[in-house]
Amino acid sequence: METLIGQGNAPAHANGAAAPVKDSSDQDFMVDVIDASMTVPVIVDFWATWCGPCKTLGPVLEKVVKEAKGAVRLVKIDVDKNPAVAGQLRIKTIPMVYAFFQGRPVDAFEGAQPESVIKQFVQRLAKSAGAAAGPSPIEEALEHAEAALKEGDAATASAIFGQVLQHEPENLPAIAGLVRCLVKAGELEEARKQLAKVPANQANDKTIAAARAALELAEQAGQKQGGLDELKAKLAADPNDHQSRYDLALALYGNGEAEPALDELLELFRRNRGWNEEAARKQLVKIFEALGPTDPLTLSARRRLSSLMFA
């Protein structure tokens, strides 16, 4: 992992450039923020030593700003020691974060936020200034892992996701990726344990939802494997045997045959869309979620489903 996420650690001011993170004051605000923002966006973190959420937000802000490699800067102001600027900006609660560019406030948010939200904030700010922040070493590692998983190398992907989690134990894309690797390896119990680590307020994150869908599909399919020939024979005898068609779709998916599984579910929906409380449509949506919204199979099957729904 040293070659993947151990890069880019040199101080941004090593060659004389301004430090990416610094403490400031009412007296230095004009120079550190207004003047500095004429050339690069400056994020201002208003905080206090007694503020619990500030202690959570501050380190994440610093980390993300440093990973932006000079695209933005961060200035930290203790409102207890420096009340003037906070008063001028009418800050009533902390943590409060303002972004300045070319001498003016251009964006802001209040309260502690997840790292993913802060990254979007920084990237949006950098892009608006014409200097999109490059991917961090962690993001590059995740891209390597996703590429390996897509190529069927779950072992390599699992190792990289695991190493990312050693650095960032709460990284949701890494948790989700590791879960998908475990599902592919048939280690469903371990996959459930990994998902259980996700905080309740982040359980609906799209990457976690996709991993959960993959696990649920694998669990369902596990109950149906081994009867493909029998299920196909039942359908040949009675094409309107909806339960057998549904079970066949699950078995096919569990056998790694996603496209035929989608075909069977679409055929079931065509024949009787309301069967078993729209089970075919619900299962299709779950597979779309597991495959991802940009997967060619998802795109094709979604178009076919839409055609059937509005036929």
> What residues act catalytically?
51, 54
Residue 45: burial class (beta carbons within 10 Å; 0-12, 13-18, 19+): buried
Contact criterion met (CB below 8 Å) for 141 and 1: yes
Residue of 57, 108, 47 whose CA lies nearest to 80: 47
Phi-psi region of 107 (alpha: psi -120 to 50; beta: other; left: phi over 0): beta
- Which tokens hold the place of 107? 């964006």
β-strand partners of 255: none
- Residues 6 or more apart whose CB falls under 8 angstroms from that of 154 comprise 148, 181, 184, 185
- Residues 6 or more apart whose CB falls under 8 angstroms from that of 78 comprise 23, 47, 48, 49
Cα 119 off chain centre by: 11
Q: Angle of helix 258-271 relative to helix 242-254, nearest 10 degrees?
A: 160
- Which tokens hold the place of 55? 């202690």
β-strand partners of 43: 74, 99
